[in-house]
């Protein structure tokens, strides 16, 4: 008789078998992401590459640039928003204005891509079929990370090549490109860990997104505290490392080691976890639920499905509000108060009073993030429909309007809640003027609702294209964040609903645009619901 | 309960998705109180037809009456009297099976608590497990318990047993039987012929979006052929000239043929005349019946297969 030893059942620790099939999985991932990745990479790269020309036309001479840099460096609120200015060359200004945001967006694409090809695949059951073929235990994770690497490498290449092509120095271009891609990969590997820990792709994305938000706020707080980025808070944030690379300001290449180190550590943790767990399972156990349920209406079901997400967003808004409020005080530190300064602030989308301008731009930022929430929440209907879970619900005594309204109340009502929480946080952090600050946050709502209305319309009338609502929100975000710096023509700026809002606090309250936007949102929602009633359910 | 003779009346139903004609003039008549088998090969349009009956899809053309209502316009009201089990049950990952059963019960306007408990026991379903931990069969049980615990007049079941083990399938069959005994109407889409044979009063077979056969199983059997194998003392004479004989094979004294069941008599007489040594006659199996309709290259009218 052959002796069966325990070692025969021990998991294989190494060997190429663990990675078998990676190449095929990467090709599959790239095939599935053939639109998502190129569009994101192109949009981020274009945003970076359109800056040199725009900034040059605004600050043409070295003296002007030095003045801008000095002003920006002196103001802690602006440092919190964009990071400190390390170099007053054209390249230095480009790196300052976009660096943090390029990294932020690269991180978002990376985490979406990684979760999409790991936990999403397991949750849907597709991975099981793939893994029954010649696919190694760690191949799916490897393929997902390689796919994220392809996206980030393409981004680094475009940024570096594009900046060099516009005549900016190659070493700064390389630093900005590598730094952006590095931040992307840090969050790709963070998402890889989250995908091992949770059983839900939605939760994995939420956790990594929360981490990214925390990294952004840490950096903002650190930069508000110190003008040279030496704060320990900035060093604690991977997004902060990007500015510490000091592109176009005597690059500090060793900072890349931090990024590489974080990627390596997180990557190996994810790999360790991936090799030790069963497919479809996680390290967080699933608890049994109640044997009987209290859910009795489509609205209650919608709330049950979305309440975790609303809670997460709400906490995020409150925390971000407090943090931004806390750094607002520095807005008065601006050196001098001349025509030039005002213009700089106005370029940022600001208004006359500096503190007001800063509070206003923070409220605007919260509003644009709330637009992302409302799109996500409205599109939950689309997920329910495409996953076939809406079908049996609608086969009950539930009309389509009632089914949709449950989700819409959470989407539109949730946006009110989020901006209220953000406003409360902002007022608490700032320490005063609660009414004006909360009002400035709430006045964002009509614009948020218009974006939500676009999502309702798309889902109701052209459901196959419903995810394009993300594009609508993304476009409004880009116009808001980069429009003034890029000197976009008024007609383009006007495309974003946020451009029409009254400039609060400080500016006059204009009810006209608020009413028009709210009316537009109502029309969009009504048209979307009318479409939903008439069309076939997606099957 | 409705007093109408037919629970479902569908005439000339058409539905296209782009260039695909999913339904191409479908007819379906289900009498009140009957268990009706709905059969057809994969992609024949069964689920599309069911979704139109549920008002989830809108018909392009044709007349549809369901429990004396219009499934599109009166969808919500009709759903009070309908319980539906989809072929592919997907649950919410973080809701327990019990919560889903109760949710569907309330959304349908109530469910029988005692029957719910009894069904959970009969189907051996643990209602405390979360949606994503159930197997395919257990997900189907969640939907089945919700459907059978309801007080619906019409049960629409779309391949409801595809994931059930044989024991559970037996439980399912008994539940359908009890539903019929309570006067419920059942539309059962299925590929399990034994299940259809045991449960259904009448069946409709559809192919490429069109009804190709409809009637009781006895009616349908009658339309098919009986296989006959015989060993004869002499040489058979004139068999190929008899009406209704197909696929005749003669090898010495050994004869194999198929004959339309209503033409069996003359064939037997002819064989007897040649001196029968042994004879086997196999009635048409359901498989043959369905295969005849499922096969893709089936000619519109049966053609005689030549002797080899």
Q: Does A296 touch chain B (CB under 8 A)?
A: yes
| Torsion angle, alpha carbons of B116, B120, B126, B128, to 10 | 0
pTM given for the model: 0.84
Q: How far is B129 from chain A (nearest CA, A)?
A: 5
Same-domain check for residues A430 and A519: yes
- CATH architecture type of domain B225-283: 2-Layer Sandwich (3.30)
Torsion of CA B265, B268, B274, B276, to 10 degrees: -150
Provide the β-strand partners of residue B10. B28, B64
pLDDT along chain A (539 residues), means of 10: 48 63 90 92 92 87 87 80 88 90 93 94 83 83 96 97 94 96 97 92 93 91 84 92 92 95 96 83 78 89 94 94 80 54 57 72 91 96 92 90 95 97 94 89 96 97 93 89 82 92 85 95 97 91
Residue with tokens 């029968």: B276
What are the distances in angstroms from CA A124 to CA A128, A137, A200, A463, B234?
Answer: 9, 18, 10, 21, 66
If you count residue pairs, one on A and one on B, with CB atoms under 8 Å apart, how many are there? 116
Contact A392/B143, CB-based, under 8 Å?
Answer: yes
pLDDT at B272: 86
Q: Which of A283, A306, A331 is the last residue of a domain?
A: A283
Residues A273 and A304 in one domain: no
CA distance A188 to A147: 10
| Cα–Cα distance, A455 to A451 (Å, whole number) | 7
Say if the Cβ atoms of A291 and B95 lie within 8 Å. no
* Whether the Cβ atoms of residue A106 and residue A178 lie closer than 8 Å to each other: no
Mutate to test the interface with B, among A282, A302, A392 (most CBs of B within 10 A): A392
Does residue A200 sit in the same domain as residue A234? Answer: yes
pLDDT at A332: 56
CA distances in angstroms from A263 to A44, A312, A356, listed in the order given: 21, 26, 40
Both A208 and A348 in a single domain? no
**Residue B217 vs residues A303, B201, B220: alpha-carbon distances, Å:** 48, 7, 5
Q: How many helices (H) and strands (E) does chain A have?
A: 26, 0
Backbone angles phi, psi at A295, to 5 degrees: -60, 130
Cα four-point dihedral sign B117, B119, B124, B126: negative
d(CA B57, CA B62): 13
Boundaries of domain holding A412: 297-539
Biggest CA pair distance of chain B = 75
Picking from B80, B104, B128, the nearest residue to A290 by CB comes out as B128
Residue A56 CB neighbour total at 10 angstroms: 15
User: Helix or strand or coil: residue B144?
Assistant: helix
Domain ranges in chain B? 6-215, 225-283
A268 and A343 assigned to the same domain: no
The phi and psi torsions of B223 (rounded to 5 degrees) equal -80, -5
Q: Same structural domain for residues A263 and A331?
A: no
Note whether B137 and B171 are within 8 A (CB). no
**Assigned superfamily of B6-215:** P-loop containing nucleotide triphosphate hydrolases (3.40.50.300)
Contacts of B160 in chain A (CB under 8 A): none
Give the number of other CB atoms < 10 A from CB of residue B210: 18
Q: Please indicate, yes or no, whether residues A206 and A308 belong to a single structural domain of this protein.
A: no
Q: Which chain B residues are within 8 Å of A389, Cβ to Cβ?
A: 90-92
CA neighbours closer than 13 Å in the CB half-sphere of residue A112:
12
Q: What is the mean pLDDT of each run of 10 residues along chain B (308 residues)?
A: 75 91 94 93 90 91 93 90 91 90 86 93 94 91 94 93 92 95 94 85 91 84 78 81 84 84 84 86 73 60 38
**Per-residue confidence (pLDDT) for residue A73, from 0 to 100:** 83
Do residues A136 and A17 lie in contact, with contact meaning Cβ atoms separated by under 8 Å?
yes
**With an 8 Å Cβ cutoff, are B47 and A199 in contact?**
no
Closest A-chain CA to B48: A539
Facing residue for A398 by CB, picked from B76, B101, B130: B76
Alpha helices by DSSP H, A59-124:
62-74, 76-82, 90-117, 119-123
Same domain assignment for residues A327 and A356 = yes
- Verify whether the Cβ–Cβ distance A294 to B102 is below 8 Å: yes
Q: Which residue of A has its CA nearest to B111?
A: A296
How far apart are alpha carbons A158 and A177 in whole angstroms? 8
Domains B6-215 and B225-283 fall in the same CATH topology: no
A200 contacts B103? CB cut-off 8 A? no
A418 and A445 both lie in a single domain: yes
> Distance from A121 to chain B by nearest Cα, in Å?
14
Q: Mark whether A387 and A279 lie in a shared domain.
A: no
Residue A124 touches chain B, beta carbons under 8 Å: no
Same domain, A202 and A278: yes
Q: B132: which chain A residues are within 8 Å (Cβ-Cβ)?
A: 123, 199, 286
Residue that terminates a domain, selected from A283, A308, A328 = A283
Phi-psi region of A532 (alpha: psi -120 to 50; beta: other; left: phi over 0): alpha
Find the closest chain A residue to B92 by CA distance: A389
**Structural domain tally of chain A?**
2
Q: How many CB atoms lie within 10 A of CB A171?
A: 16
pLDDT at B304: 38
Nearest to B107 among A288, A396, A537 (CB): A396
| Closest residue of chain A to B52, computed from CA coordinates | A536
**Using the beta-carbon criterion (under 8 Å), do A305 and B98 form an inter-chain contact?**
no
Which residues, listed in sequence order, are joined to residue A287 by a DSSP beta bridge? none
Largest CA distance in chain A: 94
pLDDT for A459: 96
Considering the domain architecture, whether residues A330 and A407 belong to the same structural domain is answered as yes
């Amino acid at each position: 008789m052959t002796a069966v030893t325990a070692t025969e059942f021990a998991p294989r620790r190494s060997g190429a078998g663990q990675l078998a099939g990676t190449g095929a999985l990467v090709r599959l991932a790239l095939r599935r992401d053939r639109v998502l990745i190129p569009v994101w990479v192109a949009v981020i790269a274009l945003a970076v590459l359109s800056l040199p020309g725009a900034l040059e036309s605004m600050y043409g001479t070295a003296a002007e640039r030095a003045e801008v840099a000095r002003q920006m460096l002196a103001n802690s609120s602006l440092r919190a928003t964009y990071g400190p200015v390390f170099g007053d060359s054209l390249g230095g200004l480009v790196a300052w204005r976009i660096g943090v945001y390029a990294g932020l967006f690269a991180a978002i694409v990376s985490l979406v891509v990684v979760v999409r090809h790991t936990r999403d695949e397991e949750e849907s059951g597709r991975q099981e079929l793939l893994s029954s073929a010649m696919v190694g235990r760690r191949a799916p994770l490897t393929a997902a990370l390689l796919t994220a690497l392809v996206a980030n490498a393409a981004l680094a290449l475009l940024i570096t090549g594009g900046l060099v092509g516009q005549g900016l120095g190659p070493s700064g271009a390389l630093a900005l490109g590598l730094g952006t891609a590095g931040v992307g990969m840090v969050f790709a590997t963070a998402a890889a860990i989250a995908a091992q820990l949770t059983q839900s792709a939605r939760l994995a994305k939420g956790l990594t997104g929360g981490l990214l938000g925390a990294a952004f706020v840490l950096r903002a707080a650190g930069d508000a505290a110190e003008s040279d980025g030496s704060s320990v808070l900035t060093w604690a944030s991977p997004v902060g490392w990007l500015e510490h690379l000091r592109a176009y300001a005597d690059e500090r290449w060793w900072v890349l080691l931090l990024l590489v180190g974080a990627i390596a550590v997180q990557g190996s943790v994810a790999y360790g976890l991936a090799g030790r767990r069963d497919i479809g399972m996680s390290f967080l156990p699933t608890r049994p639920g109640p044997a009987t349920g209290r859910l009795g209406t489509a609205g209650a079901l919608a709330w049950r499905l979305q309440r975790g997400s609303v809670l997460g967003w709400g906490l995020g808004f409150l925390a971000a509000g407090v943090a931004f409020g806390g750094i607002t005080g520095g807005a008065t530190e601006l050196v001098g108060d001349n025509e030039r300064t005002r213009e700089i602030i106005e370029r940022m989308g600001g208004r006359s009073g500096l503190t007001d301008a800063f509070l206003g731009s923070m409220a605007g930022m919260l509003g644009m993030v709330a637009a992302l929430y409302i799109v996500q929440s409205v599109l939950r209907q689309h997920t329910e429909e495409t996953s076939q879970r809406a079908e049996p619900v609608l086969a009950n005594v539930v009309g389509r309007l009632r089914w949709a309204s449950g989700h819409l109340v959470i989407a539109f009502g949730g946006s009110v809640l989020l901006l209220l929480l953000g406003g409360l946080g902002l007022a608490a952090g700032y320490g005063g003027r609660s009414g004006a600050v909360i009002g400035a946050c709430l006045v964002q709502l009509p614009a948020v609702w218009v974006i939500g209305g676009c999502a309702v319309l798309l889902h109701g009338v052209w459901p196959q294209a419903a995810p394009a609502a993300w594009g609508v929100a993304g476009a409004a975000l880009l116009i808001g964040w980069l429009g003034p710096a890029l000197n976009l023509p008024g007609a383009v700026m006007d495309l974003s609903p946020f451009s029409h809002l009254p400039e609060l606090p400080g500016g006059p309250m204009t009810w006209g645009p608020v009413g028009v936007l709210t009316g537009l949102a109502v029309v969009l929602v009504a048209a979307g619901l009318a479409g939903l009633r008439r069309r076939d359910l997606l099957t | 309960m409705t007093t109408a003779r037919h629970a479902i009346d569908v005439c000339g139903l058409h539905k296209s998705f782009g260039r695909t004609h999913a339904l191409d003039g479908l007819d379906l008549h289900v009498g009140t109180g009957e268990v009706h088998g709905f059969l057809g090969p994969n992609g024949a349009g069964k689920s599309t037809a069911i979704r139109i009956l549920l008002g989830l899809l809108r018909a392009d053309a044709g007349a549809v009456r369901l429990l004396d209502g219009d499934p599109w316009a009166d969808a919500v009201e009709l759903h009070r009297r309908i319980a539906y089990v989809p072929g592919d049950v997907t649950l919410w990952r973080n809701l327990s099976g019990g919560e889903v059963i109760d949710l569907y019960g309330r959304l349908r306007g109530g469910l029988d608590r005692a029957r719910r408990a009894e069904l959970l026991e009969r189907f051996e379903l643990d209602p405390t497990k979360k949606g994503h931990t159930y197997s395919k069969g257990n997900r189907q049980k969640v939907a089945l318990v919700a459907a059978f615990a309801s007080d619906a007049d019409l049960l629409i079941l779309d391949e409801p047993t595809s994931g059930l083990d044989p024991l559970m399938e037996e439980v399912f069959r008994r539940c359908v039987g009890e539903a019929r005994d309570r006067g419920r109407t059942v539309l059962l889409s299925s590929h399990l012929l034994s299940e259809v044979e045991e449960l259904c009063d009448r069946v409709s077979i559809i192919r490429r979006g069109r009804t190709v056969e409809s009637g009781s199983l006895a009616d349908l059997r009658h339309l098919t052929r009986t296989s006959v194998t015989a060993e004869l003392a002499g040489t058979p004479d004139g068999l190929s000239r008899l009406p209704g004989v197909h696929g005749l094979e003669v090898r010495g004294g050994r004869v194999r043929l198929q004959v339309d069941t209503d033409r069996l008599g003359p064939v037997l007489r002819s064989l007897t005349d040649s001196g029968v040594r042994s004879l086997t006659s196999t009635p048409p199996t359901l498989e043959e019946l369905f295969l005849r309709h499922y096969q893709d290259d089936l000619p519109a009218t049966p053609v005689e297969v030549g002797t080899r």
